[in-house]
Amino acid sequence: MTQFYRNYLAVAVFAVAALGMVGAMLGVGRLVRPNRPQPEKYIAYEAGSDPIRGFGQSNVRYYVYALLFVMFDVEAVFIFPWAINLEALGVSALISMIVFILVLTLGLVYAWRKGVLRWA
Amino acid sequence: MDFPILTALILLPFVGALFVACLPSNRPETIRIAGMMTAIATLGLTLWMLADFETGKAGYQFLSSHAWFSDLGVRYTLGVDGISLFMVVLNALLLPIALLASTGVNERAKAFTVWLLVLEAALMGAFLALDLVLFFVFFEVVLVPMYFLIAGWGHGRRNYAATKFFIYTMAGSAFLFIGILAVGFLHKSSTGVLTFDVRVLTQWAPAGIAPTTAAWLFAAFTIAFAVKVPLVPLHTWLPDAHTEAPTAGSVILAGVMLKLGTYGFLRFAIPIFPAAAVKYAPVLLTLAVIGIIYGAIVATMQPDLKRLVAYSSIAHLGFVVLGTFALTRQGLDGAVFTMLSHGLTTGVLFLIIGFLYERRHTRLIADFGGLWRSAPIMGGLFVVTAFASIGLPGFSGFVGEFLALLGTFMGHRWYAVVAASGVILAAIYLLWAVQRAFTGVPEGDNATISDLNVRELACILPLLALSLFLGVYPKPALDRIGPSVKAVIAHVEKSTSYESPKFSKHSPILNEERMDHGSDEMEESK
Amino acid sequence: MIVTPTWYLVLAAALFSIGAVGMLVRRNVIVMFMCVELMLNAVNLTFVTFSKTLNDLSGQVAVFFVLVVAAAEVAIGLALIVAIFRRRHTGTTADDISELRG
Amino acid sequence: MNPLGVASIVTPGVDWLGVAPVALLALAAIGIVLQRSILRRASVAYPSALIVAAVGIILSAVALIAQWHRVQTDGSYTTLSKMVAVDGFSIFIGGVVLVATACSVLLASRYLDRERLDGPEYLALMLLSASGMLAMASANDLIAVFVALEIVSIPLYVLVAYDRRRSTSLEAGMKYFLLGAFASAVFLYGVALTYGATGSTGLVGIANYLSEVTLLERGTLLAGLVLMLVGLGFKVAAAPFHMWTPDVYQGAPTPVTAFMASATKAAAFAALIRILYTALGGSSSDWRPLLWVLAVLSLLVGSIGAVIQTDVKRMLAYSSINHAGFILIGVQAGTIKGVSSALTYLAIYAFLAVGSFAIVGVVAGRGDADSDLERFKGLSSRRTGLSWAFTLLLLAQAGVPLTAGFIAKFGVFSAAAGAGGTSYVLALIGMLTAAIAAFVYLRIAATMFTPAGEGDQVLASSKVDLGTGIVIWFSCALTIVIGVAPGFLLGLAERATLLFLR
């Protein structure tokens, strides 16, 4: 196999892994979640806000999720360059990144413990 | 001197103030006694210094000097000479009297006593400091106790008066501070040493600073001192402050604090910038004359006794500035002597007005009348004091103002002539006030007014006696003032082309030989 | 037509000015907030352009930091806006929020 | 070396002592968040968070002292590939920030309890902000300055709006956030332009480039300089970038105001001084006139603006603008003396501000309800000690001799006199505005000593708790001690400036 194809092999492996991961997550979700069909769940904008009275005040919760998402999204800015050079950077960089992610995780844990993630 | 007597003079009232501050505030008698003891001890120390003071020497005595904050070239340097000596004595003398006169202050007596003692300490420091920055420190610190005395125990619009007083002086001293820094740093850039020592700068500055720069710096110093004196366009804080201040505050304010301005001219502005002082002397002489006439005329029209005396202070200090910027020995002698004498006589006037106010709760001349008949001792003493203040021969006021006018006459004839009319105006406003308030038939409350008691007499009599003594026999004071003043004139003459006018041999009244002792010409002129 | 680095710099300056002016002119808090973001991104463009012309990487590194900081500011800013709306249920202009004045 | 044969990248060496003060504070903040995640009971959470905060501050201070000794013997040094400078300057400012932080933490306990606010979060945010300030004091690279600035600001936005039930607090937070973010963006654009003009973001790199190359076209560099000055001008509350100050100082919880006035100002000035002196020291003729104008405007706006206020917190906010002007007098001198005088001023102003706001916090009472001047009427009869302490601090702020305020002003004025020329004019303006500002201070003092009339509503002020008491005593004692014997502080500032890395 040429070098050229070997590179693409990595892509293929990643593609399969990604598909598998998504499948596994959905499958596990299907196994775990309760199944109680209700008519309200089929209305558009089901998740909390009332479609009739328009864009109300009650959707503050979305912000919390958006904020959390932004924080973890930005994490990627540092993780990408780090990941590309991981081998060259050595162990100390690995430790640094672990610490970094731990700090971010701590934030998430804190938010969870404060009850921010609870919907109702 | 082994014992640092000058430091002790500053520290003693301050320590006394701290001690009083620690006493329980519900024991006003204890507080008063402790305050009085401190003030009397300070007076004793001052008298000891006065006794030890070597008459006939021009330089600073009892010198002591220590590093303070050396990074910035500031030293703690104290010394006393003939110019500051009597200011220190006056300060020490007036304070126990001010305390004694304030036994009626029952509201927050502790704070009152503490502030008065702090005021004394700060004033001592200002008169003794020989480092420009140290002087400035005390010059500014003085404002704080005085502010609280006026704002806390004053009358009427006391907050307004106190704030006006504070802001005026602080704005003035802004110029002084920049001037001080400029002198220090100019000295540094030419010699490499950062110092604010008056003795060093006085020797260096006349030749070391360019004439234009010196003129600007002289102006900066002058503004600050002119506010304090106060000279006429900058005087408006004084009537308010005096009127609203409690009696003790007025006594110290007029007696000692105003002299900080004239003292500043004599000690700093003239010796450091002699050329500028000579050049701009006419400006200051003019302001002084305006002050004398204006103060007297406005005093005549005042309905309020205290305001009247306040304006008369402006006139009296005009004489001091007049004598100072005459730049003659006689003029300076007269200036320093008037500083002392004005402290005594105006102090008494404020005291008597204060006692009157305690009885009648008014100071308006129109509310009084016929007091002499109901309170003969008070009336008599008031008239005597009025005479002393006018400058009747035989009282100290005469000696000072005569010398100041004489000194001015030698070099600036017309200024002296115009200023002399101020003496007549003084007679008009004071005697007219006496006539309205004390003569006639008493009516209503005026008829039942009680006469001065022993405590009040104890406040007044020493000052009056001293004024009388110095008026008859001024030699002890002039002997001590003379050499220092002579040195100032000699310094000005040495560092500029200025020559102070001397009496010509043909003078019909006096001649040069007789001028050697200040006391001689007094006897002559009588 | 050749697009030189100057074009990018001018574009960035224009974006920055639009943001700055918008910040000063607009009264809607969310729009003001967006203006700040616009300014930050104009700065990013400037950094990248200079990094390219100077052939120096530190400009691009700077962009990473700016991105992260901008995200953090978004988080705080939105949280503040939400808190204010919860508290008063009024409009979103800066004039509505003015109890403090001297 | 490694199996795939990739060339290894040399990561920058870390001098752990150099970053220890910053890291320890940040660690303490993280520790508080962690233990808050574990401990849920409020009664346990706050005391334990307080202990963590105290340990963090103390350890950070110990690290600073260790740095000081090391710098004394080995001289200044940089670490993290010249991003962080460890020198006398950074340590001095770090000390000021730590003291101010400790005081603000002491003030906070009572306040949080009184307002029923969540304590541990507050402490974590404050420590995080303080760690940013320490980083700012030693930031030796424009990007590091920016990141540090944001670490300072972002927690502060939250702290200002911390009292979410009070709409004024939220409003102040919003204002501070919008203007702060704007200022950061402006500052950052200045950084980008400076980077474009010199090809470096490191302060030493910029200085080297400017000393080697004569720029033909200085426009970009000057624009960068001006924009950076504008950005930092916002942070130090210098006019004409002061608009947010009165509103934010008034609306913020009082302990936060104290923290902002003392620590934030010190840190922002540290960054300003380091950028100007280290990176642009060679072109001081460019920035000195700019600072001159900033100083004059700050002096005038601060003093005159204060006169027309009726709220004590707003008065103190304007006075803080005025003080920024005084510090700028020292900075604009462009000399070593100027730096050391600015350091002295910052140190002195820090405890004056903390003490003053502590007292305002006590008087304003529950809900920070009302810091109106009327509220202070007759304070002397209700709280004699408190009113005297406040009077002392106010007099010191006015610059009355024998208080620390005089030493501060004396320092900056002698720096101005040493620089000569137009600095004299500046010094004179400064003194005159000090007289105007004195009017404001006296007005507050006079109000306290005016007995409350019949109609005046006398609300009960809250009690002085231990923490607040310590802070007030501490600042009053320092005011007098430094006022009478300033040698130690002046020597320390002098020493710190000599070890200033340039």
Q: Domain for residue D3, yes or no? A: no
Q: What share of chain D has pLDDT > 70, as a percent?
A: 95
Vertex B496 angle, CA D420 and B209, to 5° = 10
Chain C residues close to A70, C-beta within 8 Å = 71, 74-75
At D78 the three-state DSSP class reads strand
What pTM was computed for the model? 0.89
Q: How confident is the model at residue D45 (pLDDT cuts 50, 70, 90)?
A: confident
Query: Can you give B4-63 as a three-state secondary structure string?
Result: CHHHHHHHHHHHHHHHHHHCCCCCHHHHHHHHHHHHHHHHHHHHHHHHHCCCCCCCCEEE
Chain D residues close to B167, C-beta within 8 Å = 435-436, 438-439, 442
Give pLDDT, residue B519. 44
In angstroms, rounded to a whole number, what is the distance separating the alpha carbons of residues D242 and D322?
Answer: 10
Write phi, then psi, for B62 (nearest 5 degrees). 55, 35
Give pLDDT, residue D344. 94
Question: Inter-chain contact C39–D182, Cβ cutoff 8 Å?
Answer: yes
Q: How confident is the model at residue B243 (pLDDT cuts 50, 70, 90)?
A: confident
B492-501 core/surface letters (b: 16 or more CB in 10 A; e: else): beebbebebb
Residues of chain A with pLDDT under 50: 46, 54-56, 58
Amino acid making up residue D156: L
- Answer whether the bond into residue B230 is a cis peptide, omega within 30°: yes
Closest to D417 (Cα-Cα) out of B213, C53, B283: B213
- The pairs formed by B429-433 with CB atoms below 8 angstroms and a separation of 24 or more are B429/B296, B429/B299, B429/B300, B429/B302, B429/B308, B429/B312, B430/B308, B430/B312, B430/B386, B430/B389, B430/B390, B431/B386, B431/B390, B432/B300, B433/B305, B433/B308, B433/B365, B433/B386
Query: Which H or E element spans position B67?
Result: strand B61-69
Q: What is the mean pLDDT of residues D203-218?
A: 86
Residue D171 has its nearest CB partner, among C19, C77, C100, at C100
DSSP state of B301: T
Note whether D417 contacts B: Cβ–Cβ < 8 A. yes
Give pLDDT, residue D76. 86
Alpha-helical (H) ranges within D376-421 are: 379-382, 384-398, 404-419
In angstroms, rounded to a whole number, what is the distance separating the alpha carbons of residues B137 and B129?
Answer: 9
In angstroms, rounded to a whole number, what is the distance separating the alpha carbons of residues B118 and B224?
Answer: 22
Q: What is the mean pLDDT of residues B74-83?
A: 88
- Top pLDDT among D193 and D117 is at D193
DSSP state of B129: B
Give yes or no for residue B508 having a pLDDT over 50: no
Give pLDDT, residue B514. 43
Of B5-19, B289-303, C78-92, D485-499, where does mean pLDDT reach its minimum? C78-92
Residue A15, CB-side half-sphere exposure with 13 Å CA sphere: 6
Q: What is the mean pLDDT of residues D90-100?
A: 95
Give pLDDT, residue A20. 93
Question: Inter-chain contact C64–A57, Cβ cutoff 8 Å?
Answer: no
Closest to D82 (Cα-Cα) out of D173, D195, D202: D202
- Answer whether the bond into residue D240 is a cis peptide, omega within 30°: yes
Residue D171 has its nearest CB partner, among C36, C77, C99, at C99
Question: Inter-chain contact A109–D9, Cβ cutoff 8 Å?
Answer: no
Q: What is the mean pLDDT of residues D236-249?
A: 90
Chain D nearest-CA distance from C68, in A, is 10
Q: Distance between alpha carbon A74 and the CA centroid of its chain, in Å?
A: 12
Note whether A71 contacts C: Cβ–Cβ < 8 A. yes
- Top pLDDT among C84 and B310 is at B310
Give yes or no for residue B525 having a pLDDT over 60: no
Q: Distance between alpha carbon D237 and the CA centroid of its chain, in Å?
A: 10
Give pLDDT, residue C95. 60
Question: Inter-chain contact B181–D402, Cβ cutoff 8 Å?
Answer: no
Give pLDDT, residue D60. 95
Q: What share of chain D has pLDDT > 90, as a percent?
A: 56
Vertex D337 angle, CA D435 and B167, to 5° = 5
Write phi, then psi, for D14 (nearest 5 degrees). -115, 125
D302-341 core/surface letters (b: 16 or more CB in 10 A; e: else): bbebbeebebbbbbbbbbbbbbbbbbbbbbbbbbbbbbbb
In angstroms, rounded to a whole number, what is the distance separating the alpha carbons of residues B288 and B418?
Answer: 11
Give yes or no for residue B498 having a pLDDT over 60: yes
Give pLDDT, residue A54. 47
DSSP state of B398: H
Alpha-helical (H) ranges within B192-304 are: 198-208, 211-228, 237-244, 247-252, 259-264, 270-272, 274-300
Give pLDDT, residue B518. 44
Note whether A103 contacts D: Cβ–Cβ < 8 A. yes
Q: What is the mean pLDDT of residues B251-257?
A: 90
Contact D75, D499 (CB under 8 A): yes
Give yes or no for residue B162 having a pLDDT over 60: yes
* Mutation for testing the A interface, residue in C61, C67, C88 having most A CBs under 10 Å: C67
Tokens 């703690």 sit at which residue?
B76
Of B35-44, C39-48, D12-21, D404-413, where does mean pLDDT reach its minimum? D12-21
Q: Which 129-188 residues of chain B touch chain D by CB within 8 A? A: 133, 136-138, 140-141, 143-144, 147-148, 151-152, 159, 162-163, 166-167, 170-171, 173-175, 177-178, 181-182, 184-185, 188
Tokens 């400091």 sit at which residue?
B129
Q: How confident is the model at residue D454 (pLDDT cuts 50, 70, 90)?
A: low
Residue D157 has its nearest CB partner, among C65, C80, C87, at C80
Q: What is the mean pLDDT of residues D475-492?
A: 91
Give pLDDT, residue A50. 53
Q: Which 14-43 residues of chain C touch chain D by CB within 8 A? A: 16, 19-20, 23, 29, 32-33, 36, 39-40, 42-43
Dig out the tokens for A69 from the structure: 């998402």
Question: Inter-chain contact A113–D36, Cβ cutoff 8 Å?
Answer: yes
Closest to C61 (Cα-Cα) out of A94, A82, B378: A82
Instruction: Please give the torsion angle defined by the CA atoms of residues B10, B16, B19 and B23, in that order, rounded to the nearest 10 degrees.
Output: -150
Closest to B91 (Cα-Cα) out of B52, B129, B57, B124: B124
Overall domain count for chain D: 1
At B447 the three-state DSSP class reads helix
* CATH 1.20.58.1610 is right for the domain spanning A57-120: yes
Average pLDDT, rounded, for chain B:
86
User: B96-136: per-residue pLDDT in tens?
Assistant: 999 888 887 777 888 888 999 999 999 999 999 999 999 99
Chain D nearest-CA distance from C3, in A, is 18
Dig out the tokens for B505 from the structure: 């041999």
* Mutation for testing the D interface, residue in B112, B144, B148, B180 having most D CBs under 10 Å: B144
Chain D nearest-CA distance from C52, in A, is 10
Tokens 């024991």 sit at which residue?
B27
Dig out the tokens for B203 from the structure: 């020797």
Give pLDDT, residue B523. 42
Give pLDDT, residue B2. 65
In angstroms, rounded to a whole number, what is the distance separating the alpha carbons of residues D389 and D272?
Answer: 32
In angstroms, rounded to a whole number, what is the distance separating the alpha carbons of residues B238 and B234?
Answer: 9
- Top pLDDT among C81 and D468 is at D468
Parent domain of D331: 16-498
Chain C nearest-CA distance from A74, in A, is 6
Domains by residue range for chain C, with CATH: 5-88 (1.10.287.3510)
Query: Which H or E element spans position B76?
Result: strand B74-80
Amino acid making up residue B391: G
Question: Inter-chain contact D9–A85, Cβ cutoff 8 Å?
Answer: yes
Burial class (CB in 10 A: 0-12, 13-18, 19+), D498: middle
Q: Distance between alpha carbon B282 and the CA centroid of its chain, in Å?
A: 22
Vertex D285 angle, CA D281 and D291, to 5° = 90
User: B346-365: per-residue pLDDT in tens?
Assistant: 999 999 998 888 888 888 88
Chain D residues close to B160, C-beta within 8 Å = none
Q: What share of chain B has pLDDT > 70, as a percent?
A: 95
**Domain parsing of chain B, residue ranges:** 280-526
At A58 the three-state DSSP class reads helix
Query: Which H or E element spans position D457?
Result: none
Give pLDDT, residue B524. 40
At B211 the three-state DSSP class reads helix
D18-54 core/surface letters (b: 16 or more CB in 10 A; e: else): bbbbbbbbbbbbbbbbbbbbebeeeeebbebbbebbe
Give pLDDT, residue B511. 42
In angstroms, rounded to a whole number, what is the distance separating the alpha carbons of residues D283 and D277?
Answer: 9
User: D285-317: per-residue pLDDT in tens?
Assistant: 889 999 999 999 999 999 999 998 889 999 999
Residue B69 has its nearest CB partner, among D431, D443, D486, at D486
At B369 the three-state DSSP class reads coil
